[in-house]
Structure 1
Amino acid sequence: MFSGAQISLYPMADDFVDVIMSALGALDPYRDQLRIETDDVSTLLVGPPEVLFRAMRDLFSAAARTGTHCVFSATISRGCPGESDDAICTSSHFDGPLAPLAERQESALAAVRKAPDMDVFAVGQLSLYVLGQGNHMDEIYGCIDFLKQSGTFDKSKHFATKLKGDTGALFATLEQAFCHFGPPEGHVTIDLTVSANSPSAR
């Protein structure tokens, strides 16, 4: 199984380079568990979801703690048939057969309840895509039901679901959505945008 994310961080400030470079230090604890490649468009993170989402959480939280309006954009994918399996991505999330939907929802909710408090408030929106499956809408609706119970749900939007809350719970919700909906061996993607310190909220 291959899993990873193409991410971009956008601080809305004149000193955006300093904000980005400082925030990148938050990835240091994860560098031996991820493959990281950066170019002038985005940064690729490859690794197991339980590391991937924590690394994204910590990177965004570090930038947001500066008080700068920051936007984080990510395309997250697992099981893409065009990517070769990578041992660095091995994860217990995908062991065994697909459990019943209700059981997966309860497991996901339990994981979100255990999320750490990062003391950073953010809003975000995601779109989940379960690809190549005849029952993909059952999985998407099941995920939406989970999101509505997660404690981070804000509202439904055209083509997306809006979340809000502490980045600990928010990124835990995203990890569970990514891992618990769609078959373990299936191709699942998330289109994600997260924002903190936006002047619009004022």
Structure 2
Amino acid sequence: MECGTSKIVGCRFSLHPMTGDFISVIKGALEATDLTGVWKHTDDVSTVIRGQEQHVFNVIKAITLHAAKTGEHVAMNATFSAGCPGDTAGDSYMEADSNIHNHDETKQYVSSQFALYPMNHPDYMNVIYREVDRAKERGVFNDSMHYASGIHGDIHEVFDFYEETFGAARSEEHRHLVMTVSMSINSPSHKGNHHA
């Protein structure tokens, strides 16, 4: 079965801790995260997570939060994808139950940028504008910029927005969606921001 006819969501991401001890930050974040319900593979560039949408977003948030809790300046880059016609159902863990497994509610300010790519959608700009309006309604919109929109706030509110918008920007007719997210946490340039 192809991904285009299923509910599989995937995310390929990279963590970049700004410290000489980056290996322990990355490995520690992965080890501290409950990966129940997702398939994971790590190579020398990035890690890919596949599974049900709620599990994928929960795991990416948990890994990012664990890395942030070290206090180090961390950057995270992620590409979420769903409905890719060339994808396959293998390694997807779609039989997992729907209960999420990571529940750390630690507050953490994040600054991020995202871009939506509704593939083959003839009205794609209106989809993007609608989701930017959603960010404004949720109180996480930061700034308009070339090729992306700024999103910031507490990590839980930011990830809630990303998960909601990723689901809302897809439809039965236009299932293939890509979303890129770049996130900066514990940056010295965040000092003036409110840490909820």
Q: TM-score with structure 1 length normalisation?
A: 0.82
Aligned: 1:192 with 2:175: no
CA distances 1:18-67 after superposition (whole Å, capped 9, x unpaired): 1111111233x22x310101100100100111111111111011111111
Aligned: 1:182 with 2:170: yes
CA distances 1:76-134 after superposition (whole Å, capped 9, x unpaired): 1000111123563479xxxxxxxxxxxxxxxxxxxxxxx98431111110001101111
Q: Provide the C-alpha distance between the structure 2 equivalents of 1:190 and 1:145, rounded to a whole number of angstroms.
A: 16
1:165-176 alignment runs, 5 A limit: 165-176=153-164
Q: TM-score with structure 2 length normalisation?
A: 0.84
Unmatched tracts of structure 2, length 5 or more = 1-5, 97-102, 192-196
CA, structure 1 residues 89+139, in 2 after alignment: closer, same or farther (shift >3 Å)?
farther
Higher helix share: 1
Unmatched tracts of structure 1, length 5 or more = 92-114
Aligned: 1:66 with 2:66: no
- Equivalence for 1:88: 93
Q: Provide the C-alpha distance between the structure 1 equivalents of 2:148 and 2:105, rounded to a whole number of angstroms.
A: 25
Give identity over the alignment, percent: 32
- Equivalence for 2:100: none
- How far residue 199 of structure 1 moved from its aligned partner, in angstroms, is 1.8
1:19 partner SS: helix
- Equivalence for 2:132: 144
Q: Provide the C-alpha distance between the structure 2 equivalents of 1:14 and 1:85, rounded to a whole number of angstroms.
A: 38
Q: Provide the C-alpha distance between the structure 2 equivalents of 1:83 and 1:153, rounded to a whole number of angstroms.
A: 32
